[in-house]
Amino acid sequence: MTQIDNRSSERPAPPISDGPRLRFAPSPTGFMHIGVFRTALFSWLYARHTGGKFILRIEDTDTTRSVEGALENLLEGLEWLGMDVDEGPVIGGPYGPYFQLQRKALYLHYADQLLKSGHAYRCYCTRERLDRVRQDQQAQKLPPRYDRHCRYLSAEERAANDAAGLPFTVRFAMPLDGETAVPDPLHGDMVFKNSDLDDMIILKSNGLPPYHLAHLVDDHLMGITHVLRGEDWIPSAPLHVQIYKALGWEPPLLYHVPNVLEKSKKKLSKRRGAPSWSDYAQQGYLPEAVFNFLALLGWSYDDKTEIFTKEELIKAFSLDRVGVASGIYDPEKLLWMNGLYIRKLSLDELTQRTLPYLERPEAEGGLPDSVQRPLDVEYTKRVLTLEQERLKTLGEAAERVSFFFLKDLTYETSLLIQKGMDAPRTHEALVQARDLLNSLSAWQHDAMEQPVRDLAAQMGLKAGQMLGSLRAAVSGSPATPPLFAMMEVLGREVCMQRITEAIARLAP
């Protein structure tokens, strides 16, 4: 990681000619669900639409809750979705470091500035005292907030506490009267009574800042012009506006974008099983389909257009089309959209992108371990030609096509016997079909279908009865691609062997 540059307590803001500067500033306290990436995507799209910059900053000051591997997972997720970064912890940039722990000196500098200007104060209250205050407020049905005890300590009392070495936090001294207006292009000006607001902690006892101070200092010093964040942050927005004012800085444009909700209208949450990008990747969703799907969670171009390439989204995206109504995460719609994207792939691309899912271990959803790897690419391509229209994820391909690769099939003999048939009649139908098929000079679907249908009619069978028994015999499954196209791909030798084995199963 880059070391902190202590040569200056403040860096100049980037030149205006850089255009809009937007950031994604996650905390590595867990593996983020896909809704978090949605909000980052809005920032990325606007930066790309305007020719601006997209900055990644890691808010890692909550050291007690940091999760090993969370940062790597985040970076891989951005790469998987195709969201490139202009400045950040890997690529670097002129306004780093891009890890907050390496910027501690900056936060201490501005916390001290707020203390000296009287806009903040040291709070020596113990956890026990704060708990008692909270309990008393609950008993009186009062809103929970700090009672400002330390705000009114005398200079002598503060000096005594400092001389005794008492631990302290730093709280921002919110104005006690009047109102704070929070401009927001999505919601309009939101006005808050200052008397309803709390004196929040801006520096913890360990010398590290919570979000309220750290993000604000970083946004200013990194020249962030637009902040897109979830509407959960609206209650904290007046505090942030007041801190900007106390430091004499102009706030960036604040956009509180709508949350992503489950279909039950509850907020999308990892605790309730919200998927991550890696869940999608493992299941075989295409990143371009997920990208398209996420862009529509709270943003729309019109009331009918839903399918966009990345380039089309960049061209069309604007912040005035972001709504205030929450986006609804609909997994069925994503599945439909992913199937649509799969059908748009060229056969070569479909094959190359599906092979890793087919070749992974059986325990991870791949083909049975008895199937030799690597797979024959040309044969796999012929197989996938038959399945492309039915696939909704690449991950389901192995189950659908396994019978194309297996040497021996496993299925219940009853699967061979169709409705209105019995074992002897099915046995005779398969014997007749085998002999007919074996006599054909060309093993092509259009050369097989009509003769087999004619045979069924001669035997007094419905076409579906004959075809259903053949389907089960050659695939071991009742649901497959078109029968004769499937048999063409399997080849004469495999089909004859499997029909013969089916006949043996039914032998009296």
Task: Assign 3-class secondary structure to 370-438.
Answer: CCCCCCCHHHHHHHHHHHCCCCCCHHHHHHHHHHHHCCCCCCCHHHHCCCCCCHHHHHHHHHHHHHHHH
Same domain (yes/no): 439, 491: yes
Residue 297 amino acid letter: L
DSSP lists the bridge partners of residue 228 as: 255
Residue 483 is part of a domain; what is its CATH number? 1.10.10.350
Strand 260-261 to strand 226-230: parallel, antiparallel, or no bridges (unpaired)?
unpaired
- Residues 461-492: pLDDT tens digits? 999 999 999 999 999 998 889 999 999 999 99
Segments in the chain below pLDDT 70: 1-17
Same domain (yes/no): 426, 487: yes
Task: Assign 3-class secondary structure to 134-195.
Answer: HHHHHHCCCCCCCCCHHHHCCHHHHHHHHHCCCCCEEEECCCCCCEEEECCCCCCCEEEEHH
Provide the number of structural domains found in the chain: 2
Contact call for residues 289 and 54 (beta carbons, < 8 A): no
**Domain end call among 405, 428, 452:** 405
Distance CA 55, CA 274 (A): 26
∠ CA 349-350-354 to the nearest 5 degrees?
120
Q: Residue 383 has what pLDDT?
A: 98
Considering 104, 245, 267, 270, which one is annotated as catalytic? 270
Same domain (yes/no): 490, 428: yes
**Domain end call among 354, 384, 405:** 405
- Residues 109-150: pLDDT tens digits? 999 999 999 999 999 999 999 999 999 999 999 999 999 999
Q: Write out the two tokens for 478.
A: 């009742």
Residue 49 amino acid letter: H
- Give the helix/strand (H/E) hosting 353: helix 347-359
DSSP lists the bridge partners of residue 229 as: 256
Domain annotation covers residue 333 = yes
Structural domain containing residue 297: 281-405
Number of neighbours of residue 41 by Cβ within 10 angstroms: 25
Same domain (yes/no): 427, 490: yes
Distance CA 34, CA 285 (A): 13
Domain annotation covers residue 376 = yes
Distance CA 11, CA 19 (A): 18
Same domain (yes/no): 457, 343: no
Q: Residue 17 has what pLDDT?
A: 52
- Dihedral, 240, 245, 250, 256 alpha carbons, nearest 10: 20
Residues with Cβ within 8 Å of residue 64, at least 6 apart in sequence = none
Same domain (yes/no): 375, 470: no
Q: Residue 416 has what pLDDT?
A: 97
Same domain (yes/no): 381, 332: yes
Q: Residue 10 has what pLDDT?
A: 47
Closest among 472, 289, 298, 264 to 394, alpha carbons compared: 289
Domain annotation covers residue 451 = yes
**Domain end call among 344, 370, 405:** 405
Q: Residue 78 has what pLDDT?
A: 97
**CA of 507: how far to CAs of 265, 418, 425, 427, 503, in Å?**
58, 16, 11, 7, 6
Q: Any catalytic annotation for residue 263?
A: no
